[in-house]
Structure 1
Amino acid sequence: MTALKEYDRLEATGLWRPAPGEQRREVIVSLGDATLTLTEISGAVLTHWSVAAMVRANGTARPALYHLDGEPGETLEIPEDETAMIDGIDRVLRAIERRRPRPGKLRFAIGGSVAAALALAVLVWLPGALERYATTVVPPAKRAEIGQAVLAHMTRVTGQPCRGRDARAPLRRLAARVLGPDRANALVVLPTAARDSAHLPGGVILLGRQVFEDHEDPDIAAGYILAEALRARLDDPLRDVLDHAGLIATLQLLTTGSLPEEALSSYAEQVLTAPQRPAPNDALLGAFQAAQMRSTPYAYAIDPTGETTLPLIEADPGAGDGAPVASDSDWVRLQGVCGA
């Protein structure tokens, strides 16, 4: 026993009771390597106890009382004056107890690890799952309401949308030409937007006035509209709002039907300031082809060198097609959309 390495062997007298109701007998107790030997005074061996199986029955009280684990009827009492033997046995028992496996602690550790892993999985999975669910259950009318609420926060910075009287009908005609007749009212022109285009839930396409005022070709403005509509199809605008607003706001939308105003305001700021994400060229070319529009004017508006938009130039599906997206008179009016 390493716990008793300072002793070669310990011996003491004790009182051994083999079974309940039997007379106690005085014995010689010898503590060896992992074994307690009980012998008669004459030297005859009575029994061997495994020290690892011993239990102290009366705590730290003296005389010390021991029995084997699961056999409390067979007892051994060591008198209080045999301090070396009592201390030796107790030290060995403590050493054994320290080395004994702790299934309760192990279960607690495993359970805690599993719980932590589940909590982490919930934190990682739940927001995305709720966002996906919300995008499937929120009706179009609520999407449009959320889009208008975000727009209201944006206009506190950009000013009210441009509604030049002469440009209203041309703007609807341009939207219908590019997006389809059912979306004639989808375009909103902002007077001081830093970004050329953006989109909001409810099918709203935002355009900065510079899209009309800084270019001479209406196909460029049409290209901005088409590219932004494509981004909205590829990345659900409501999902983008909820991803920005966070888990609590998403839960509020699902339970009360509304989003916190601070979340809407924060998202409006992000839309105005975040860098524009480029639309994939292949998908964009497909959109230009479906709309029977030229992609080259838009490509050079995005990059005057044409280096980064070369696929839109080389594979222009509308090359050679002279059909304009807006009449000359409509385009003149659109260039003054932010006028009176």
Structure 2
Amino acid sequence: MTALKKYARLEATGLWRASPDDQRREVIVSIGDATLVISDLKDQALAHWSLAAVERANPNETPAIFHPDGDPSETVELPENETEMVEAIETLRRVIEKSRPKPGRLRWLGVVTSILLVAWLAFFWLPGALQDHTLTVVPKVKRDAIGAALLKRIERVSGPVCADPGGLAALALLSSRLQAGALAVLPEMTQESLHLPGNLIVLDRSVIEDFEEPDVVAGYVLTELTRRDASDPLRDLLQVAGLRENFRLLTTGEISPRALDAYAEHLMTTPATAPDLASQLARFENAALRSTPYAYARDITGETTLALIEGDPMNGKLTEPLISDANWLRMQAICGG
């Protein structure tokens, strides 16, 4: 320790007594190797006090009185003229005190670290982990039920699902051809298409009635399938609904009506995310479907959908009709129009 070396040759006279009943003796006080050495005038050591355990009985008073920690009965008194020794002892005591471990501070730091760790886990890790676990345990029948419940809420705004029997039969043929799962058509939806939990794709009647060929509506279906591939619709719902509804679904198998209402509103008012172009074109290629009719349906100028036009996987190839003309006419009349 640098401070010990500084005071290694320092000595002072003082009065020492081993106990309150003993007479005080004149002694020489010196600083040794991490100890305060008390010797008689013949240089015979009377006591060695550890510097780490030296206490002052009368701080800021003179003459300064020191004693070993825990034993105030043994004292050494340094007179006013021995200020250098007093300052040396006080300096060494401060240095040693600073170098001691601080259990309270360490405990406080440990508590704060633990709290921050728990908060981090709760904020960042827990929601994702709980969501991942929930998605793995929710059965298909429950996903179907959630999708049906959302559809009912969307119907409150758009009107009931179009149900012309001939149109439904034609729609089922299209779904089978595209391997799309369940399809539904609504009369006045605020979005052109949506995908819901339970492999359910919902279409607005305009994507069927406003165009001359079924390739357009098929393009909307394939685009929703691309979006569904990129993000599980039940995950999307849970992200919007929050941790509480996630926990409710995991423990009770239900989502509150309020959460379903809020998510249905979210679906109807939030613009759809653009699908990954390469995945979207791969869907068209696997279905042997032209992407150009869908691209011009989205933008009649083709400016914003040029990538779909130039990347059309069926460009220059002959394709089989999706469905017969008769079934296409039936599908166009699915909403009774």
- Aligned pair partner of 1:331 in 328, 332, 336: 328
SS of equivalent residue, structure 2 residue 126: helix
Distance in 2 (CA, whole Å) between partners of 1:93 and 1:215 is: 92
Distance in 1 (CA, whole Å) between partners of 2:190 and 2:336 is: 19
Q: Shift of the alpha carbon at 1:150?
A: 1.7
**Could you say which residue in structure 1 is the equivalent of 2:210?**
214
1:44-193 equivalent positions in 2, closer than 5 A: 44-47=43-46, 49=48, 52-56=51-55, 66-67=67-68, 76-77=74-75, 95-96=94-95, 98-104=97-103, 105-110=105-110, 112-179=112-179, 183=181, 186-193=182-189
Q: Which amino acid aligns with 1:179?
A: Q
Say whether 1:248 aligns with 2:244. yes
**Could you say which residue in structure 1 is the equivalent of 2:15?**
13
Q: Shift of the alpha carbon at 1:227?
A: 1.3
**Could you say which residue in structure 2 is the equivalent of 1:5?**
none
SS of equivalent residue, structure 1 residue 163: coil
User: Which range moved further: 118-127 or 192-201?
Assistant: 118-127
- Aligned pair partner of 2:318 in 312, 315, 321: 321
SS of equivalent residue, structure 1 residue 130: helix
SS of equivalent residue, structure 1 residue 195: coil
Distance in 2 (CA, whole Å) between partners of 1:148 and 1:10 is: 94
On the 8 A contact 1:65/1:75 being kept in 2, the answer is no
The 1:27/1:261 distance shift into structure 2, 3 A limit, reads farther
Say whether 1:232 aligns with 2:202. no
SS of equivalent residue, structure 1 residue 129: helix
Distance in 1 (CA, whole Å) between partners of 2:205 and 2:220 is: 12
On the 8 A contact 2:248/2:254 being kept in 1, the answer is yes
**Could you say which residue in structure 2 is the equivalent of 1:196?**
192
On the 8 A contact 2:52/2:93 being kept in 1, the answer is no
**Could you say which residue in structure 2 is the equivalent of 1:295?**
291
Distance in 2 (CA, whole Å) between partners of 1:237 and 1:206 is: 13
Q: Shift of the alpha carbon at 1:231?
A: 1.7
Distance in 1 (CA, whole Å) between partners of 2:145 and 2:13 is: 90
SS of equivalent residue, structure 2 residue 271: coil
On the 8 A contact 2:226/2:276 being kept in 1, the answer is no
Q: Percent identity?
A: 36
Q: Which amino acid aligns with 2:120?
A: L
Distance in 1 (CA, whole Å) between partners of 2:261 and 2:17 is: 85
**Could you say which residue in structure 1 is the equivalent of 2:7?**
none
SS of equivalent residue, structure 1 residue 14: strand
Gaps spanning 5+ residues in structure 2: where?
Answer: 4-9
The 1:48/1:337 distance shift into structure 2, 3 A limit, reads same
Q: Shift of the alpha carbon at 1:89?
A: 9.3
Give the TM-score, by structure 1 length: 0.78
Q: Shift of the alpha carbon at 1:172?
A: 2.1
Distance in 2 (CA, whole Å) between partners of 1:24 and 1:151 is: 99
Cα RMSD after superposing both structures = 3.9
**Could you say which residue in structure 2 is the equivalent of 1:4?**
none
Distance in 1 (CA, whole Å) between partners of 2:296 and 2:171 is: 23
SS of equivalent residue, structure 2 residue 153: helix
Q: Shift of the alpha carbon at 1:255?
A: 0.9
